Amino acid sequence: MTTPLNHDERAELERLRAEVPALRAKNKETSARLATAHETIETMKLGREVEAVARTMGFEYPDIAHQLIDRGALTVDPETGETQGIRAALQALLKDRPGLQTAPPRGGTPVRETGGAQPAAADAPGTRALTPTEDLLLQGGYH
């Protein structure tokens, strides 16, 4: 047998019932933000995994390889959470765009060059063209 609610109890019940829609909306918003954060974390994790494999494969810019691969070729093991198919996706990308691989793959013995030092290319990182004054000084000044 239930006892009837008094006036204060009925007022409290109505106040709580009125809060339910706002709490449900807040819960939905929080769930959406959590899903977005989870997706961002997974994207960052995938990017790091792809970058690590691309670096070993000799990509010139391994940090952007994750933006270029076919993500449909990747699968995630539901038990371990590990991404599978990264190397195959990168190999397919290299097949379509071989210019992305400019460095030799890492992990083995590097190729030994012979013939002495090579001059640095003018467009190599950390180099610049000489100014006319610097060129004159290097050539021994005016003759």
Domain that holds residue 29: 11-103
Q: Tell whether 133 is covered by a domain.
A: no
Looking at the predicted structure, is the pLDDT value of residue 114 above 70? no
Q: Cα(48)–Cα(74) distance, rounded to whole angstroms?
A: 14
Q: Tell whether 31 is covered by a domain.
A: yes
Q: Tell whether 125 is covered by a domain.
A: no
Tokens linked to 95: 């097949």
Q: Tell whether 129 is covered by a domain.
A: no
Tokens linked to 81: 């959470």
- Looking at residue 126, what is its pLDDT? 60
* 83, 43 Cβ separation under 8 angstroms: no
DSSP annotation string for 1-55:
-PPPP-HHHHHHHHHHHHHHHHHHHHHHHHHHHHHHHHHHHHHHHHHHHHHHHHH
Q: Tell whether 51 is covered by a domain.
A: yes
Prediction pTM value: 0.56
In this predicted model, what pLDDT tens digit does every residue of 87-113 receive, in sequence order?
A: 999 999 999 998 898 866 665 555 454
Looking at the predicted structure, is the pLDDT value of residue 22 above 80? yes
Cα torsion through 105, 123, 125, 140, rounded to 10: 130
| 116 confidence band (pLDDT: 50, 70, 90) | very low
E strand or H helix at 75, and its extent? Answer: strand 75-76
Q: Tell whether 124 is covered by a domain.
A: no
pLDDT > 70 in the chain, percent: 74
In this predicted model, what pLDDT tens digit does every residue of 39-68 receive, in sequence order?
A: 999 889 999 999 999 999 999 889 999 999
In the chain, how many domains are there? 1
Q: Cα(5)–Cα(11) distance, rounded to whole angstroms?
A: 9
Residue closest to 104 by CA, chosen among 113, 116, 117, 92:
113
